[in-house]
């Protein structure tokens, strides 16, 4: 009798579905109740999985918070870096500096409303938890690297690109901060479209006049 090779695809798909459900559940509870008041056990119960399953997938509550935030920025739980996703490649591949800026502002206005609630929970937890504060610093460092890549995409269209790179990187890093989104949209009541248009105007004003 010929034995059949074991097909693990069903188990992998189940693990993938469980992971996505845990992330969704964790995000909802962290936003509603705060990081400190939310336990791994409560997340596991609400997600319909065991507590060891959550720990096996995410190792700690802090890492679960980190991944819940990151998944909201990119829009799903797939392990694909933001820079490799179609929406960001569209920004990098824009045919002019002005179009890079326009597409970046459009992306920011699309992602910020989705990501801000969970990132707000991260920022609040960082005030009292050194481990979460370290995660926030990591997020800021990652955003700075990403802003550098975006500055590369702008500067390759500019005659004095290298001379403008550091300034543009820092402007992009500042304008894409979710803190800024929270101040303008959540606190001051700006419509999201106005927020995106404003980012585009400020970035455009940072480009050299032809």
Q: By three-state DSSP, how is residue 143 classified?
A: helix
138 inside domain: yes
| C-alpha separations of 146 from 7, 11, 36, 122, 149 in Å | 39, 35, 30, 20, 5
The answer to whether residues 99 and 30 belong to one domain is no
The answer to whether residues 125 and 175 belong to one domain is yes
Q: Dihedral (C-alpha) 172, 178, 181, 187: value to the nearest 10 degrees?
A: -150
In what helix (H) or strand (E) does residue 83 lie, and over which residues does it extend?
none
pTM of the model: 0.86
pLDDT tens sequence across 170-192: 999 999 999 999 999 999 999 99
> 17 or 46: whose pLDDT is higher?
46
The answer to whether residues 119 and 184 belong to one domain is yes
pLDDT band at 77 (very low <50, low <70, confident <90, very high): confident
71 inside domain: no
pLDDT tens sequence across 189-206: 999 999 999 999 999 998
68 inside domain: no
The answer to whether residues 107 and 19 belong to one domain is no
pLDDT tens sequence across 100-159: 999 999 999 999 999 999 999 999 999 999 999 999 999 999 999 999 999 999 999 998
The answer to whether residues 93 and 11 belong to one domain is no
8 inside domain: yes
Give the count of domains, the chain: 2
Q: Which two tokens stand for residue 52?
A: 């060891």
The answer to whether residues 120 and 162 belong to one domain is yes
Mean pLDDT of all residues belonging to the chain:
91
The answer to whether residues 92 and 182 belong to one domain is yes
**Looking at residue 16, which CATH number applies to its domain?**
1.10.10.60
pLDDT at 6 over 70: no
Quick one: what percent of the chain has pLDDT higher than 70? 95
What's the rounded Cα separation, in Å, for the pair 171 and 92?
A: 17
73 inside domain: no
What's the rounded Cα separation, in Å, for the pair 108 and 81?
A: 16
Backbone angles phi, psi at 18, to 5 degrees: -60, -40
pLDDT at 65 over 60: yes
Q: By three-state DSSP, how is residue 191 classified?
A: coil
The answer to whether residues 5 and 88 belong to one domain is no
Mean pLDDT throughout 38-50?
96
Q: By three-state DSSP, how is residue 128 classified?
A: coil
Q: Which two tokens stand for residue 146?
A: 């990403």
Q: Which domain holds residue 44?
A: 1-60
pLDDT at 3 over 70: no
């Amino acid at each position: 009798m010929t034995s059949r090779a074991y097909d693990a695809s069903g188990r992998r798909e189940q693990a993938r579905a469980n992971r996505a459900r845990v992330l969704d559940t964790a995000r909802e509870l962290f936003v509603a109740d705060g990081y400190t008041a939310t336990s791994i056990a409560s997340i596991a119960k609400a997600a319909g999985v065991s507590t060891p399953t959550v720990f096996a997938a995410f190792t700690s509550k802090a890492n679960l918070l980190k991944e819940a935030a990151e998944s909201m920025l990119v829009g799903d739980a797939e392990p694909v870096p933001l820079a490799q996703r179609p929406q960001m490649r569209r920004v990098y591949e824009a045919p002019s500096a002005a179009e890079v800026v326009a597409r970046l502002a459009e992306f920011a206005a699309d992602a910020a409303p989705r990501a801000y609630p969970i990132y707000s929970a991260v920022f609040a937890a960082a005030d009292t938890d050194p481990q979460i504060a370290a995660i926030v610093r990591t997020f800021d460092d990652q955003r700075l690297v990403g802003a550098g890549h975006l500055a590369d995409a702008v500067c390759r269209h500019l005659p004095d690109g290298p001379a403008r790179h550091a300034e543009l990187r820092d402007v992009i890093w500042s304008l894409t901060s979710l803190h800024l989104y929270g101040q303008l949209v959540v606190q001051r009541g700006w419509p999201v479209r106005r927020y995106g248009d404003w980012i585009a105007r400020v970035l455009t004003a940072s480009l050299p006049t032809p």
